[in-house]
C-alpha cells in the first residue's frame, strides 16, 4: 500500500504541475514568455519519490535483462528444435530407404525360395524316374533270364 501512496503522490505532483502550467490565460500565454511555476514539495517526500523511481528503474533493468536472457534462451531452443526436425527428417528418409531395401530383399528371398522348391521337385521327379527305369530294366533282365 505504501508503493501505491508513492505513486499517488507522484501523480498528484504531476497533476499540480500540469494544472499550474495550464492555468495561465490564453492572452497572457501569448503575450508573455512562458514562466516556470514553483511547486513546493517536502524534501523527504521528494527523496522518497526519487528512491522509488530509482528502485523501479533498477527493477525495470532487471526485468529487461531477464527478458533478454529468456529471448536468447528461446532462440537457442528454436535452433535446437530446427536441428531436431532436420535429424528427424533424415531418420525418416533413412527408414524409408531401409524399408525399400528390405522389401527388395524380401522379394528376392521369395523368388529364391520358389526356385529352390521347384529344383527340389525336379530332383525328386528325376529320382523317381530313375527308380522306375531301374525297376523296368531289372524286370527286363529277370524276364530275359527266366525266358532262357
pLDDT given at position 102: 96
**Three-state DSSP string of the chain:** CHHHHHHHHHHHHHHHHHHHHHCCCHHHHHHCCCCCCCCCCCHHHHHHHHHHHHHHHHHHHHHHHHHHHHHHHHHHHHHHHHHHHHHHHHHHHHHHHHHHHHHHHHHHHHHHHHHHHHHHHHHHHHHHHHHHHHHHHHHHHHHHHHHC
pTM of full prediction above 0.85: no
Tens of each residue's pLDDT in the chain, 148 residues:
455 566 767 776 666 666 655 555 555 445 556 778 887 878 888 898 899 999 999 999 999 999 998 999 999 999 999 999 999 999 999 999 999 999 999 999 999 999 999 999 999 999 999 999 999 999 999 999 988 7
Amino acid at each position: 500500500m505504501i508503493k501505491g501512496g508513492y505513486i499517488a503522490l507522484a501523480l498528484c505532483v504531476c497533476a499540480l504541475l500540469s494544472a499550474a502550467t495550464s492555468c495561465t490565460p490564453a492572452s497572457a500565454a501569448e503575450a508573455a514568455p512562458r514562466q516556470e511555476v514553483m511547486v513546493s514539495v517536502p524534501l523527504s517526500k521528494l527523496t522518497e519519490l526519487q528512491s522509488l523511481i530509482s528502485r523501479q528503474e533498477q527493477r525495470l533493468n532487471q526485468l529487461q535483462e531477464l527478458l533478454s536472457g529468456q529471448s536468447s534462451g528461446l532462440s537457442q531452443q528454436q535452433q535446437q528444435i530446427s536441428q531436431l526436425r532436420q535429424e528427424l527428417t533424415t531418420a525418416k528418409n533413412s527408414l524409408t530407404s531401409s524399408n525399400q531395401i528390405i522389401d527388395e530383399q524380401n522379394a528376392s528371398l521369395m523368388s529364391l525360395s520358389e526356385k529352390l522348391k521347384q529344383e527340389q521337385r525336379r530332383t525328386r521327379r528325376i529320382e523317381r524316374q530313375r527308380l522306375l527305369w531301374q525297376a523296368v530294366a531289372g524286370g527286363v533282365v529277370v524276364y530275359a533270364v527266366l525266358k532262357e
